[in-house]
Amino acid sequence: MKKGLITGINGQDGSYLAELLLEKGYEVHGLVRRSSTETFERINHITDRIKLHQADLNDLSSITEVVREVRPTEIYNLAAQSFVPTSWKQPLLTGDITAMGVTRMLEAVRQTDAKGIKFYQASSSEMFGKVQETPQREETPFYPRSPYGVAKAYGHFITVNYRESYQMFCVSGILFNHESERRGKEFVTRKVTDAVARIKTGKQKELRIGNMDAKRDWGFAGDYVRAMWLMLQQDTPDDFVVASGETHTVKELIEIAFDHVGLDWKKFVVQDPAFMRPAEVDLLLGDPSKASRILGWKPELDFPGLVKRMVDFDLKRQGGA
């Protein structure tokens, strides 16, 4: 039986990936950090079928112990400080977890079973930052624009380096933005769909938003975790861009979400400089052709379908559907 260990199992992607691995008959283990209030909202429905282990990406001995105890066949390193604005407020912590945490995971693998464990690193389109070409491909040079992007670039290269130095099966998935009803409410898609539902049900009066001209290549998280799994099923380790191949502005996102419940967004949306970033990533558009050709991966849910799905979910939560 295959054994998967997911760091960040309690996050958006971790929860979808755990479901996917269970469906495929894996024994699923998750690494979670200690918290004074245990909230496993995203994985409550599967906690009886997975095994959780307490460890922290900042603590090498704790993760080595988990890797030694579990002896997984595959590790998916999804844990990170993943919110871009927080990376300016807590740049050192972001570097410790999102960058050095990758090296700690790789060391835990190398010291335990360098040849027997396949390793997936959750890299990000934020590494492209101030984009050097469009669309962005595996070969596009990185120009990160936030401490988060810089940390992810380190995580990418250390993954490649362990592959080349120790012939370990390590891959880096360069994933563009992917969303769902399980997305944290601080990210723009969920912030918008949650606000639309609250405005529609009379619980909120306005939506305060930052840069509406930013363009992102958005997809559905459930589709993207399939690509992670496919990368570890290949015979040779390689890196892949995973994206929808379409780009949309934040304004389009807002329009679709408000339209879906019959509201005119212009009456409710207020631009607020508090949500502008010190340095912005203006445009992201990925070229997923390598993933399509080699992994046979393609996304199933399109952008309007994704936004409507998230609005419907939030409306139901607010008792409005």
Binding site for ligand NAP (CB under 6 A): 7-8, 10-14, 33, 35, 56-58, 78-82, 97, 122, 124, 175, 177-178, 184
Q: Is 166 labeled as catalytic in the residue annotation?
A: no
Residue 174 binds ligand F7E, judged by CB under 6 A: no
- 99 neighbors 27 (Cβ within 8 angstroms): no
Which one from 124, 146, 172, 244 is the annotated catalytic residue? 124
Among 43, 250, 307, 311, binds ligand F7E (CB under 6 A): 250
Burial 232-241, CB ≥16 within 10 A → b, else e: beeeebebbb
Whole-Å CA distances, 175 to 85, 98, 128, 287: 19, 15, 11, 11
Residue 217 binds ligand F7E, judged by CB under 6 A: no
Q: H helices of the chain, where?
A: 12-23, 60-70, 84-89, 91-94, 101-113, 147-166, 188-200, 221-232, 250-260, 289-290, 303-317
C-beta of 191: minimal distance to ligand F7E in Å? 5
Residue that has been written with the tokens 């997923």 in this structure: 288
Residue 198, sorted as left (phi over 0), alpha (psi -120 to 50) or beta, turns out to be alpha
- 194 neighbors 209 (Cβ within 8 angstroms): no
97 touches, from ligand F7E, ligand NAP, none (C-beta below 5 to 8 Å by class):
ligand NAP
209 touches, from ligand NAP, ligand F7E, none (C-beta below 5 to 8 Å by class):
ligand F7E
Please report, as residue ranges, which positions from 60 to 89 form the binding site for ligand F7E (by CB under 6 A): 82, 84
Whole-Å CA distances, 81 to 76, 104, 190, 318: 16, 15, 18, 28
Residue that has been written with the tokens 């993943």 in this structure: 82
- 72 neighbors 1 (Cβ within 8 angstroms): no
12 touches, from ligand NAP, ligand F7E, none (C-beta below 5 to 8 Å by class):
ligand NAP
Residue 156 binds ligand F7E, judged by CB under 6 A: no
C-beta of 30: minimal distance to ligand NAP in Å? 9
Q: Is 124 labeled as catalytic in the residue annotation?
A: yes
Classify residue 274 by its DSSP letter: G
Q: 35 vs 111, which CB is nearer to ligand NAP? A: 35
Question: What is the Cα–Cα distance from 124 to 128, expressed in whole angstroms?
Answer: 8
Among 59, 133, 186, 302, binds ligand F7E (CB under 6 A): 186
Residue 185 binds ligand F7E, judged by CB under 6 A: no
Residue 191 binds ligand F7E, judged by CB under 6 A: yes
Q: Is 148 labeled as catalytic in the residue annotation?
A: yes
Which one from 26, 148, 162, 224 is the annotated catalytic residue? 148
Residue type, position 61, single letter: S
Structure tokens at 93: 């912590």
Among 29-37, 105-113, 180-188, 228-236, which window interacts with ligand F7E (CB under 6 A)? 180-188
Residue 188 binds ligand F7E, judged by CB under 6 A: yes
| Catalytic (active-site) positions | 124, 126, 148
Point out which residues bind ligand F7E (CB under 6 A).
82, 84, 124-126, 176-177, 186-188, 191, 209-211, 214, 216, 250, 275, 277, 280-281
